[in-house]
Structure formats: structure tokens, C-alpha cells
Chain A
Amino acid sequence: MEYVLQTERLTKRYGKVNVVEDVSMHVRKGSIYGFIGKNGAGKTTFMRMVSGLAMPTAGTMKLFGSEELEKERLRIGTLIEAPGALGGMSARENLEVLRRSFGIQEKERVEEMLSLTGLSDTGRKKVKNFSMGMKQRLGIAISLMRSPDLLILDEPMNGLDPAGIREVRELLLKLNHEKQITILISSHILDELSRIATDYGIIREGRLIEEFRASDLEKRCRRCLKLSVDDPGRAAAVLEQILSIQNYDTPEPGILRVFEGLEDTAGINKALVEGGVSLKESYLTGQSLEGYFVELVGEELTGK
């Protein structure tokens, strides 16, 4: 497995508090890694350490398989917390500052980034007068200036309206699919995250408590057909004997949850009715990423 980012027990301590503790993260090449955690869980601090903005107290990390972090960080684009732009300058001028800082020869790179993020027509408007959404898009443009192989985005959808969120989502998918950019992204908008992420990491109180793939999520969220019936015993017999379904349970009286054969729910309903079961309710349900997250963290997600 080729990892773009691999950390080993990465820790950051401020005073006596471990803000990030023993985090061993694995970001696969080409993946979109959704980094989930409550406010103050340590997501931003972790991202800042990876970006070289904060020094780890302990632990190691590899970027693109190498421990030469200074060199490899040239291949990273970041948008951490607020976009770093000079308020007294226009979007174009801010990007020009970075073009010069990075020694990028192609002057057209600035226009390319403005166009990619939909900021071409902002003209001489100063960044301090930008809307939150425009600032976020500028932040993404800044992070893409160097054609990075790994994008680290901390809450890039903050402050965006639904159309803006969709635009960013499409942009990230495009960058991932067409340019093979690996993305490490944190967001509180878990529904949005679940539409793009291929891998997930959940952090709680500075500790990475789970890493899993999107393909595992469905299993974990236990998608099922929920049935409300008059006779659960008879319904169970129909499921087992007629439909050969073994994977079901009875969480409460009169309720059955069926975990297999979900591709033909109409067939299940028909067999139950034909088997003499009175079916009061039948619907597909499953835990969302948010539900799963809340279950893991054990509390309501704050800052949503």
C-alpha cells in the first residue's frame, strides 16, 4: 500500500495538555481522507504539524514515503483555518505574492487558479471586502498554487452557501479524479464529507480512535430494512424458510431489522404478506456518517 502521509504516534503537547496524542494516521495515495472530530479534538493541530507550521512534541511522520519533510512539503497545498491572504490586496495580488515566493515562473498560473476557483472577475476588489465564500475559494486557490500532490484542507466548506459547497465538492472531486491529488480534509458537514471521502479517520480528545474506508462505512452503519409487524415469530419464519435470510434481528417487540437481501425489499414485503404477516411499516434505514460519528464520540457534534 502506498501512503502519501503516514504518522507514527504523533503527539503535540501544550503545557501539560496533549492536544494530539499518539496519532498514527495512514493516508493512501489517491484517496480523499475525511478527518472527523469535534471542535478542539486536535484536527487542526494535527494538520498544522503535517504542514510544518507546528513542531511535534513526539512521534514521527513520513510524507510520500520519505522522512525528508522539508523537501516533501513542497508537494503539499494547505488551507488551514482561515485562508492566509493579505486583506489590503486583491485575490490576484495575493496569488502573485505566492507565485513569486514559490519561484513559479509561469505568470499565467495566477489567472489559472483564479479561473479554477471562480475568482477571475473579482478584479481589484480587496480581500478584506470578500464574502466568506470568496475567501474560502481564495484559500483553495492558494493551496493549489504549487500543483500539490497532497491537499490539506481544514474546514474548506465553512461559510459557503449550498451552491458554494457544491462547487467546492465538485472541484475537489475533479482534482482527485483528474489530477490524482490526494486530499486530507476535515469538515463538520459530515453529509458533504460522506459524498466525497474514500477513507475516514475519527479523532477524539487528541486520539485517532478509528480509521476505515468508505466501503466499510455501509457495513458499520448497518443499513437495514426495518419492519413493523404484528407477529414477529411468523415474520422470522418467512424470512428464514422462504427467503433464506438469516441476518436479521429483533431490537424491540414487533420490530425486525433485516440486513441482507436489501436489493429486493419489495420481494421481502411480498413474501411476508403472502406468508400471512400483517405488515404495518417497512422502510430502508441506516445510520448516516453523522449518526455513526455521534455514536463513536458519544456526544452531539458541536460547531455544525
Chain B
Amino acid sequence: MMGLFRAEIYKLVRNKALYICIAVTIGVVILMYLMLASAGVMAENSLMELAGQIFSGDFIPCILAIFVSIFVIEEYGSGMMKNVAGKGAERWKIFLAKLMVAELASVLLILAGIGAGLFGGWIWKGSSSFTGEFWQNLLIYAGLQILMEMALVAVYVLGSDLCRNYAAGISLGIAISFFPLVLAEVLDMKFQGKGFALSDYWLVTRSINCPYEGFTKEYVLKTILIAGLWFVLASGAGIRHFSRRDIN
């Protein structure tokens, strides 16, 4: 298992897609700051809001979907998967190693986005905004975001393994980022007043609606549970599928 993990890390480090996605994420954060600055609304936003701007839409889910699709599907496209799966390594271990490294890459990507947000905040708002309370809130906020995005990554890995084709995998990933978000909101309106919001349970909506401060214990626990549930479901389905399906 460790061998498989090390091999995945080796591939990740040499994967151009990772660096391009990180660069795009940082670029988007900087563009966002420039946009806010040019609109003159920088003062209206707290540093926490600025640092969290990157999660306010479906940009992060989209970029994760693209990266994960490339990272997973290239194994099938190149045929590298045949070398490992056909040589005695247990299938679930192969899947898990890939998933773990995809998760690691996603955390790096998210941290790059947050890092760029902080750097922008330091440039435009100055170092005085970095208070103790800010760091505490950022820690919880980033932790929750990472948890939710990690669960989402497990869904993308499952989708990529189902498709095993770049175009289909990327399209499915982007569809997963967009479509359930809209669907959940439509259903929320339909079930309005019944004390139940479906969007609360979908990772992308929960990530977008995550508060910047005033985190309650209940909210944090619920988020951990929802992320954990999605992660387990997607990984379990992925392992099951990968273990049973032929490799071409």
C-alpha cells in the first residue's frame, strides 16, 4: 500500500495539471481582488470575507473536478493502470492510494487559493487585519471547507472511475459541481416552510453557505457528519466499482 501511495505521489509531483490548476486558482483570486479593488468595494468586505471569496461560487468545485478527472483518467488513457492492476496489487488498495493522493492534491489546491486570498488581503488591507480572532475563524472555516471539498473529491474520483474518458469525466465533474446545486435550491423552494432544506446536505451548497464567523458546535458537527457521509459513500462505491470492473 505504501508503495502504491509513494508511486502516486511521484506521479502527482510530475503532473503538469496540478501546477496549472494551482496557478489558475491563484490567478482567479488575484483577479477577484483586482475586480473588487477597481469597483471600490474592498473596504466593505472583511479580510475573512475576502479570504473566503474563492469558495463563494462553484469555481473551486469546478477546478477540482477538472484536476481529479485528469489525474484519475490518465491512468486509463495511458494504460498505466494495467501495469499495476495486472500485477497482483489488490484493487481496493490501488483505488485508495489514488484517492488519497487526489485528496492531498485537492488540499494543496485549496490551500493555494486561501494563501492567495491572504496575500491579497495583506496587500490591500494591511497586516492590522490579521488579528487573533481572524486566525481562529480562518482555521475553522478553512478546515470545514477542506472537509467538504475532500468529500466532493471522492465523488469526482468515483465519477472519473465510472467514465474512464477525459471528456466524459470532466463533463460529469462539472455537471456535479453545477447541477445538484441548482436542483437543491429549487427543491428548497418547493419544500419551503417544512423545516427541511435539502441544500444543507449537498456539499457545494454547504461550502458556499459556510459562515465566516460565529461557528456553532452544532454546525461544525453537522458539517463533519455530512462530509464524512458523502466521503464514505463515494469511496465505498468507487472501491466496489473499481474492484469489479474490467480494465481495458
Contacts and interface: CB of A to CB of B under 8 A. Distances in A.
Given A101-B4, A102-B3, A103-B2, A78 B86 contact: yes
B76 to A, nearest CB: 9
A97 B247 contact: no
A96 B86 contact: no
A258 B79 CA distance: 52
Nearest to B1: A103
Interface stretch (A81-89, A166-174, A291-299): A81-89
Nearest to A89: B14
A70 B88 contact: yes
Contact of B87 (A48, A76, A87): A76
Nearest to B76: A84
B194 interface: no
B133 interface: no
Contacts of B84: 98, 101
Main secondary structure of the interface of B (DSSP, over half): helix
B81 interface: yes
Nearest to B86: A51
Nearest to A90: B14
A277 B171 CA distance: 81
Nearest to B244: A55
Nearest to A52: B86
B85 interface: yes
Given A84-B79, A86-B74, A74 B11 contact: no
B98 to A, nearest CB: 11
Contacts of A101: 3-4, 7, 83-84, 89
Interface string B25-39: 000000000000000
B219 interface: no
Given A85-B80, A97-B11, A102 B86 contact: no
Nearest to A54: B246
A96 B11 CA distance: 10
B95 to A, nearest CB: 13
B6 interface: yes
Contacts of B217: none
Given A53-B247, A100-B6, A100-B7, A84 B81 contact: yes
Contact of B82 (A75, A84, A103): A84
A98 B6 CA distance: 10
A73 interface: yes
25 contacts: A48-B86, A52-B85, A52-B88, A53-B247, A53-B248, A54-B247, A55-B246, A70-B90, A74-B87, A75-B88, A78-B82, A78-B83, A78-B86, A81-B79, A84-B82, A86-B74, A88-B15, A89-B14, A97-B80, A98-B7, A98-B83, A100-B3, A101-B84, A102-B3, A102-B89
Interface of B: 2-4, 6-7, 10-11, 14-16, 74, 78-90, 244, 246-248
Interface of A: 48, 51-55, 70-78, 80-89, 93-94, 96-98, 100-103, 142, 146
